[in-house]
Amino acid sequence: QKEVEQNSGPLSVPEGAIASLNCTYSDRGSQSFFWYRQYSGKSPELIMSIYSNGDKEDGRFTAQLNKASQYVSLLIRDSQPSDSATYLCAVGRGSQGNLIFGKGTKLSVKP
Amino acid sequence: DVKVTQSSRYLVKRTGEKVFLECVQDMDHENMFWYRQDPGLGLRLIYFSYDVKMKEKGDIPEGYSVSREKKERFSLILESASTNQTSMYLCASSLWNSQYGYTFGSGTRLTVV
């Protein structure tokens, strides 16, 4: 059974701090990795994708991938109250097949 | 702007009714998916389709069926709605290898009374 695990939270950080969200996966054949943000009552929105080991930065967001440890993370720098949401990690094989989603980590950024 | 459009944002139906949820995408994506999302349970895959007229069961297909007559449209059917099918329903689409992830529709919050 392929799995994607995330800490459900809530993760609470003060405004301006760095929020660190973590995800582990079980399928060593995974090739594509995604972070989705989901506000309460809304649908998931893709915010980051990463395909190779290392870091990928996009504005205040940095995705980190370590395939040897089967670990992917999302860092949010200078966290804002508007970043308060649930963050879903998703993993895929890059061939015809579904993404596997974690259950999400709820982030709360306190002013 | 590319889109996945779900026909209804909110829907209230009575127990035993046949319910149709429609999803249309304009990205020429091969894959389409139906999920339901409930608090604490995450996204649960109901059905998916890799091509027109093809369908595959997901993790929780019981009580549901689907139809994909055209590439851009994927319909979810609740044959006889029950109160335990009250949920947020999310449609998504992707390229054939899901290499760039899924694009989700805005969701349909279904309440069965």
Task: For A24-91, give the secondary structure using H, E and C.
Answer: EECCCCCCEEEEEEECCCCCCEEEEEECCCEEEEECCEEEEEECCCCEEEEEECCCCHHHCEEEEEEE
CB < 8 Å to A98, chain B: 33, 45, 48, 98
Strands B42-49 and B56-57, how do they pair?
antiparallel
Give the model confidence (pLDDT) of A64-100 as tens digits.
Answer: 999 999 999 999 999 999 999 999 999 987 666 689 9
Please give the structure tokens belonging to residue B68: 């994909």
Q: A43 in the Ramachandran plot: left (φ > 0), alpha (ψ -120 to 50) or beta?
A: beta
pLDDT digits 0-9 by tens, B35-64? 999 998 999 999 999 999 999 999 999 999
Q: What is the mean pLDDT of the segment spanning A104-108? A: 96
Q: How many angstroms separate the CA atoms of A105 and A108, rounded?
A: 10
**Mean pLDDT of the B3-11 span:** 94
B97 falls in which pLDDT band (50, 70, 90)? confident
Chain B interface includes A63 (CB < 8 A):
no
Q: Which residues in chain B are contacts of A46 at CB distance < 8 A? A: 101-103
Please tell me the predicted confidence (pLDDT) of residue B14.
Answer: 98
Burial environment of residue B54 by CB neighbours within 10 A (0 to 12, 13 to 18, 19 or more): exposed
Token duo for residue B60: 């929780």
